[in-house]
């Protein structure tokens, strides 16, 4: 018997309570705008119809819970998320995971870097992620447990120091470099955590998230584990999907200054790469829900959603269960 599972990543774009001050250059959301955003997000979730969804830019887990209540498909789903420090002066974004599959254990935030990874001396928060990744094990109907990690790596937004001005091209370049170093360090820390997870759990892994860089960038390839042993590596789901047609492949997840690119990715472990002997399944296809980007809907996310359909092979699933 074959089994299909659906995994998605969804950057919600500033999902926050009405009236919350998020950034200096962004006006707080009005009550009407808040209602429109929640209704659009709930509709989009029902359209995706994924079994497991990783979320980014969640400024309030209670707001995400309200979105789930407005859906048809996720009212009873498991919701894992951790709000930032409630005593903080300003809300900050975090990630979340929603699963219709049972959980193998409670979810956990992976806020700190591994001991052997750190930012350069003088960096702010040198030993932790800007937005803590989230980890949970989900149980497929066949009994296979899959480690799911939700991530949101540092953006390309320049990391200015308090006295810097964006008008100075040299200071701008240095600020961009600081952001790149932060994203690269976070990618390295994530790679170490994923390697440790592979050794500790011996379970299939799927990473869902906004990497703030394209699939063949240095930072994303660090997370993929280029150069590591095969059993520790990850694969871009869009590149190993069975139905990939290079001549018609038009997937993208962001539209910026008329330029289309994909920075939201789903990565899978060798168990979902059918070219490898340890495969227990395959990525059937990867779908990009991005029509709202061209329509420029004010209530919509500024990211497209990415959905991967994965088929588990019945015979190999049984073998994995027996070995477990």
Is the pLDDT score of 253 beyond 70?
Answer: no
Q: What is the mean pLDDT of residues 59-82?
A: 97
Residue 321 has what pLDDT? 41
22 contacts 14 by C-beta, under 8 angstroms = yes
243 contacts 249 by C-beta, under 8 angstroms = no
Q: What is the mean pLDDT of residues 283-299?
A: 92
Q: What percent of the chain has pLDDT over 90?
A: 74
**pTM recorded for the entire structure:** 0.92
pLDDT band at 46 (very low <50, low <70, confident <90, very high): very high
Task: At 235, list the tokens.
Answer: 């694969």
Task: At 8, list the tokens.
Answer: 């998605």
CA 45/CA 216 separation, integer angstroms = 28
CA 280/CA 203 separation, integer angstroms = 11
3-state secondary structure of 281: strand
3-state secondary structure of 183: helix
CA 307/CA 121 separation, integer angstroms = 39
8 contacts 50 by C-beta, under 8 angstroms = yes
């Amino acid at each position: 018997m074959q089994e299909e599972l659906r995994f998605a990543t969804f950057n919600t774009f500033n999902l926050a309570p009405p009236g919350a001050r998020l950034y200096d250059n962004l006006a707080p959301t009005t009550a009407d705008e808040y209602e429109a955003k929640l209704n659009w997000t709930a509709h989009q979730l029902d359209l995706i119809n994924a079994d497991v969804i990783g979320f980014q830019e969640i400024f309030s887990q209670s707001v995400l819970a309200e979105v789930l209540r407005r859906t048809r498909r996720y009212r009873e789903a498991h919701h894992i998320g951790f709000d930032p420090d409630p005593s903080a002066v300003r809300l900050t974004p975090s990630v979340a995971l929603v699963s219709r599959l049972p959980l193998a254990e409670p979810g956990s935030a992976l806020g700190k870097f591994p001991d052997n990874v750190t930012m350069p001396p003088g960096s702010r928060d040198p030993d932790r992620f800007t937005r803590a990744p989230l980890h949970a094990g989900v149980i497929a109907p066949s009994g296979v447990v899959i480690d799911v990690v939700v991530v949101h790596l540092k953006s390309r937004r320049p990391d200015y120091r308090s006295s810097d001005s964006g008008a100075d091209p040299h200071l701008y370049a240095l600020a961009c470099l600081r952001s790149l170093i932060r994203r690269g360090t976070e990618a390295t820390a994530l790679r170490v955590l994923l390697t440790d997870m592979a050794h500790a759990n011996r379970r299939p892994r799927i990473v869902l998230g906004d990497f703030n860089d394209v699939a063949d960038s240095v930072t994303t390839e660090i997370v993929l584990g280029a150069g590591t042993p095969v059993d520790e590596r990850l694969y871009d789901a869009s590149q190993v999907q069975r139905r990939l047609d290079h001549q018609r492949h038009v997937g993208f997840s962001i539209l910026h200054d008329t330029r289309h690119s994909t920075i939201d990715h789903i990565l899978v472990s060798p168990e979902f790469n059918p070219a490898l002997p340890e495969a227990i399944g395959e990525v059937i296809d990867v779908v990009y829900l991005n029509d709202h980007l061209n329509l420029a809907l004010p209530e919509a996310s500024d990211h497209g959603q990415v959905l991967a359909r994965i088929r588990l092979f019945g015979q190999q699933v049984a073998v994995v269960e027996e070995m477990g």
